[in-house]
Amino acid sequence: MTTQVSGSNGRRMQRFATAVVTGVLAMTIATAPGAVSAAPPAATVCRWYVARNGDQLGELAIRYRTDVMALRRANGLRTTTIYIGQRLCIPTIVAPPPPPPPSSGGPGAHGAPPPAAAGPWSAEFWNNTNQSGTPALSRTDAAVNFNWGFGSPDPARVFADNFSARWTRNVAFAAGVYRFGVQADDGFRLYVDGNLVLDQFGFEGESAKAIDVEVGAGTRQVRIDYVEKTGVSVVKFNYYKVGDAPTSGNPPPPSTDWSADYFNNMDLSGSPVRVARARELNFNWGYGSPASSVQKDNWSARFVQTREYVGGNYRVVAQVDDGIRVFVDDVPVLNEWREQSYRTFVSDVALTPGMHTIRVEYLEMTNQAALRLYLEKR
């Protein structure tokens, strides 16, 4: 049974409701004469909705032709309770565009769109897995669409295993929402206009991920970081426009991203070595780090978010390895600043109606690194 929306905002910001989509990209498939190309699978994306007074999860499922369990999975909901002002992901299945034909008939041949990610790309390759030192190979590539199998990008200069690469390109975008996708074996990171939007760098094996990103008009840099450990080596990238930038209505609401500053020391001192934004604080870096510019051990980070809350009692839930400090409007509410294994901490705070700033300070000393934090209405 669905539960009617209460009159309070809060609940935790959805842990899983991002525009990240898991699926195989619509890549060009070369086929032998008479062979049939496999149809690219559909993808599931988030259509954003902000809950209003009187909304029920079951009614939303009927309205958007889905079901309650799909809504709960997409938003990480343990129950059917939703709240006024809560940002909900409505999972929507969309079909990818057809791949470009194998012929060289030019843009738009046979009704298929040209590959939007055509080059040139600036490409660099390293004979290590962390993109450190002088590249072993620098070149330009027409597209990021490679399957080297058990081989190498350049057998004379690049190892077949345990190498990394980076492709960068400046792209002139029209304003809109674009679907970016990467298929890789092994890991990758994707940046759009300096923002990390997909992170599978620590993954080993084959994966395909896609995400919808709103991009403003102008020239933006797209960057792909890739790492090959052992076995087969594959990396493919594409993107295409899926809609205009929203100007009104529900999707998406005003940004409540966290600002993120990373420091190569344990006391947040000096200038950050990386500045980024995050939609949520839900990271598991393992034995790695947030980026190549951040060292793997003995670093710290600061995350800040300002957003509107309804008045009431909230519980701050932090899961962390190693240390953490949390401040609400510069008032300390949690202090566990020390080396420790993965643990959960909670702290209850009372918030007045209006805007509040949450500041989270994080410490990584040695071994694994992880951080997850959210506020839930009591």
Residues in contact with 247: Cβ distance below 8 Å, sequence separation at least 6, in sequence order: none
- Structure tokens of 219? 């020239």
User: What is the rounded CA–CA span in Å between residue 280 and residue 377?
Assistant: 17
Share of the chain above pLDDT 90, in %: 33
pLDDT in tens, 203-214: 777 888 888 888
pLDDT value of residue 10: 39
pLDDT value of residue 377: 79
Contact 29, 99 (CB under 8 A): yes
The average confidence (pLDDT) of the chain is 77
Three-class SS state of 66: coil
Superfamily of the domain at 114-243: Galactose-binding domain-like (2.60.120.260)
pLDDT value of residue 87: 78
Q: How far is CA 285 from CA 73, 200, 293, 322, in A?
A: 23, 10, 14, 12
pLDDT value of residue 294: 92
pLDDT value of residue 8: 40
Residues of the chain with pLDDT under 50: 1-42, 95-118, 247-255
CA angle 254, 258, 263 (to 5 degrees): 155
Three-class SS state of 292: coil
pLDDT in tens, 316-341: 999 999 999 999 988 999 999 999 99
User: What is the rounded CA–CA span in Å between residue 176 and residue 347?
Assistant: 40
pLDDT value of residue 253: 42
- Structure tokens of 243? 């809609």
pLDDT value of residue 91: 78
User: What is the rounded CA–CA span in Å between residue 227 and residue 225?
Assistant: 7
Contact 321, 340 (CB under 8 A): yes
pLDDT value of residue 323: 94
The CATH code belonging to domain 20-94 is: 3.10.350.10
Contact 26, 98 (CB under 8 A): yes
Q: Provide the residue ranges of all domains of the chain, joining segments of one domain with +.
A: 20-94, 114-243, 258-377
Phi-psi sector, 362: left (phi>0), alpha (psi -120 to 50), beta = beta
Q: Is 114-243's fold the same as 258-377's?
A: yes
The CATH code belonging to domain 258-377 is: 2.60.120.260
pLDDT value of residue 378: 77
Three-class SS state of 72: helix
User: What is the rounded CA–CA span in Å between residue 305 and residue 199?
Assistant: 21
pLDDT value of residue 128: 93
Residue 319: what residue type? Q
Cβ-defined contacts of 31-35 (< 8 Å, 24+): 31/102
pLDDT value of residue 360: 96
pLDDT value of residue 147: 92
User: What is the rounded CA–CA span in Å between residue 268 and residue 361?
Assistant: 8
pLDDT in tens, 257-298: 788 899 999 999 988 888 888 888 989 999 988 988 899 999
